[in-house]
Amino acid sequence: MSENINYLTTIGLEVHVQLKTKTKIFCGCSVDSESEPNTNVCPVCLGYPGALPALNETVVKYGIMTGLMIGSKINRYSKFDRKSYFYPDMSKNFQTSQFDLPICEGGSIDIELEDGTRKSIGITRIHLEENAAKNFHLVKMSGVDFNRAGTPLIEVVTEPEIESPEEAYAFLQAIRQIVVYTGVSDCNLELGQLRCDVNCSVRPEGQVKLGERTEMKNLNTFKGIYNALQYEIERQKDVLRSGGTVSQETRRWDPDAGITTVMRTKEDAHDYRYLPEPDLMPMVFDDEYLEELRSSLPELPAKRRERFVVAYSLPAYDAGVLVAEKPIADYFEAAAKLSKNPKLVSNYMMTEMLRILSETEKDISEVTMTPEALAKLSNLVDAKTINSNTAKKVFDILFNEGGDPEKIVNENGWAQVSDTGAIEGFVDEAIAANPKSVEDYKAGKVAAIKFLVGQVMRFSKGKANPQLAESLLLEKLQ
């Protein structure tokens, strides 16, 4: 009966991001996630009674930096609270987190969908908290590794403004790019450095009040979150279509079966009973400190992309590829600023640099070629001193050995010959050596000219200006 009803979807995310510190949030144990179990532990992160937490100042700094990047209000007075829960991965029986005075409130993150649609997603808050230990579920028992206990997290909570799995996916990409750009997290998904709790509800179009929502906890891949949402939204619509009601509950996403199942109903919902953390002093931030952090922030990737399009006349797509990773964007920009032709620099970054980096599994920080050298190379091409084939050869040498492009070109005698007299000689040679192609061309086979240009290049050992060679050939064969 109600098959034609349109349903609206509302999604809110709670994104937990592990911060890039050397030590845990409240003790000096390493955050290394690849150590043997229970080797990076001490009385604080094991939750021994009487052990006192000591707050890592870098965690506070990174939390604020993230907030400043997305336009949050930084609470001048912020404190920690104890969130009670009883579970083997939290041996103190409470998680040290923030309740009513989180470090940041408000702000927004801009997303862009694949079809180019743009949207701004409001942020409710960002708070600091400690990670729980890691549980291993065995057949008849469970095991707990406390290496992860106390690793520093920020939790970013969105407003319920995400309206589709696609938007959720774009949001996750955007937030990941921002924290990586800011240098506060590596966001390595394989190492579980970004995990997400997902709330979603559906309601018939026209209804103002949001539908009853369900929550899915601890999702750790973007694709998983996307798939879980797609399933859960359809499930809720089916419930409503068949006249049922969605109940507020926590559901578990089973990626193998591709379904969600009930984990906990509202009656069993956690009652966290927050209370102020007496062992940690409040944090108070003044203008000077916030200004100092603000001035250390990088440009937002989305802003940088727009600037690249305007300042360096790049297509939006190219600019998007270049800004995706900050070190790549920094390298490009350093070269582009010195180049007479930034578009050429962009081309070499996109076609050569990124390809070779991925083939050699290298990081741009390991590349011997300097941005100055790339700029010079682009200038040599721009001035037609070398042609694009020679430029590729020079690029390979620069990538593998470094050096000065002009010197490489001179030492190898690779400067392009643009002297008409000299090229004429090669053109005559090519015509004399290939009478068949000349005949073909004259008989109307236009493609033969390309072959002849190739021959000119061969006789000139690759140094002839190919455009000039072609126009001379055309002239002579008329």
Partner 1 sequence: MSEEKHNGIDVAYVANLARMSLTEYEIEKFQSQLDQIVGYVEKIGELDLDGVEPSSRMRSLNNVYRKDELRDSLSHDKAMANAPEELNGLFKVPKIVE
Report the interface residues with partner 1, using CB under 8 A. Answer: 21-23, 27-30, 36-43, 46, 54-60, 79, 84, 86-88, 93, 135-138, 140-146, 252, 263-264, 271, 273, 276, 278, 280-284
Q: What is the DSSP string of 260-301?
A: EEEEEEGGG------EE-TTS--EE--HHHHHHHHHTPPPPH
Hey, what are 461's tokens? Answer: 């050992």
Q: Which amino acid is at 409?
A: V
Burial string for 387-424 (b: 16+ CB within 10 Å, else e) reads beebbeebbebbbeeebebbebbeeeebbbbbeeeebb
| In the complex, least distance from residue 185 CB atom to partner 1, rounded to whole angstroms | 14
Nearer to partner 1, 59 or 175 (CB): 59
| In the complex, least distance from residue 279 CB atom to partner 1, rounded to whole angstroms | 10
> Which residues share a beta bridge with 262?
251
Nearer to partner 1, 274 or 451 (CB): 274
Q: Output phi, psi for 343, to 5 deg.
A: -60, -40
| CB-based contact 249:262 (threshold 8 Å) | yes
| In the complex, least distance from residue 277 CB atom to partner 1, rounded to whole angstroms | 9
Nearer to partner 1, 86 or 245 (CB): 86
Nearer to partner 1, 285 or 451 (CB): 285
Pick the closest to residue 390 from 468, 467, 464 (CA basis).
Answer: 464
CA distance 360 to 309: 29
DSSP state of 50: T
| In the complex, least distance from residue 27 CB atom to partner 1, rounded to whole angstroms | 7
Nearer to partner 1, 138 or 443 (CB): 138
> Which residues share a beta bridge with 284?
77
Burial class for 229, CB neighbours closer than 10 Å (0-12, 13-18, 19+): buried
| CB-based contact 45:146 (threshold 8 Å) | yes
| In the complex, least distance from residue 219 CB atom to partner 1, rounded to whole angstroms | 14
Burial class for 451, CB neighbours closer than 10 Å (0-12, 13-18, 19+): middle
Start-to-end CA distance of the chain, whole Å, equals: 77
| In the complex, least distance from residue 220 CB atom to partner 1, rounded to whole angstroms | 16
Nearer to partner 1, 43 or 402 (CB): 43
Nearer to partner 1, 76 or 355 (CB): 76
| In the complex, least distance from residue 31 CB atom to partner 1, rounded to whole angstroms | 10
| In the complex, least distance from residue 197 CB atom to partner 1, rounded to whole angstroms | 14
Nearer to partner 1, 80 or 332 (CB): 80
